Amino acid sequence: MKLLGVIGGPEIIVILLIVLVLFGGKKIPELMKGLGKGVKEYKKAMNGIEEEMNNITEETPEQETQGDAR
């Protein structure tokens, strides 16, 4: 966590310049597109898990009340 305090604006610019030199200007949009798709899929999966958890918690009280009635 201490490393995050060391990385600032100038360091990020240097990293971006290195990426530009390594991959070239034509490859960067493709990389960003792939990264965007990955983030979108991650968010979609997280929302799906959250919905499943909500459904499970909504079903649990109903099952408990049915069990108490017996």
Who has greater pLDDT, 63 or 56? 56
Percentage helix, strand, coil for the chain under 3-state DSSP, each rounded to 5 = 95, 0, 5
Q: Is residue 47 part of a domain?
A: yes
Both tokens assigned to 18: 């290195």
Q: Is residue 39 part of a domain?
A: yes
Q: Is residue 2 part of a domain?
A: no
Q: Is residue 30 part of a domain?
A: yes
- Residue 31 makes CB contacts below 8 A (sequence gap 6+) with 23
Name the residue type at position 42. Answer: Y
**What are the tens digits of pLDDT across the range 22-56?**
888 888 888 889 989 999 999 999 999 999 988 88
Instruction: Report how many domains make up the chain.
Output: 1
Q: Is residue 55 part of a domain?
A: yes
Read off the pTM: 0.50
Q: Is residue 3 part of a domain?
A: no
With 0-12 / 13-18 / 19 or more C-beta atoms within 10 angstroms meaning exposed / middle / buried, residue 49 is: exposed
Domain coverage including residue 41: 22-59
Is residue 7 predicted with pLDDT exceeding 80? no
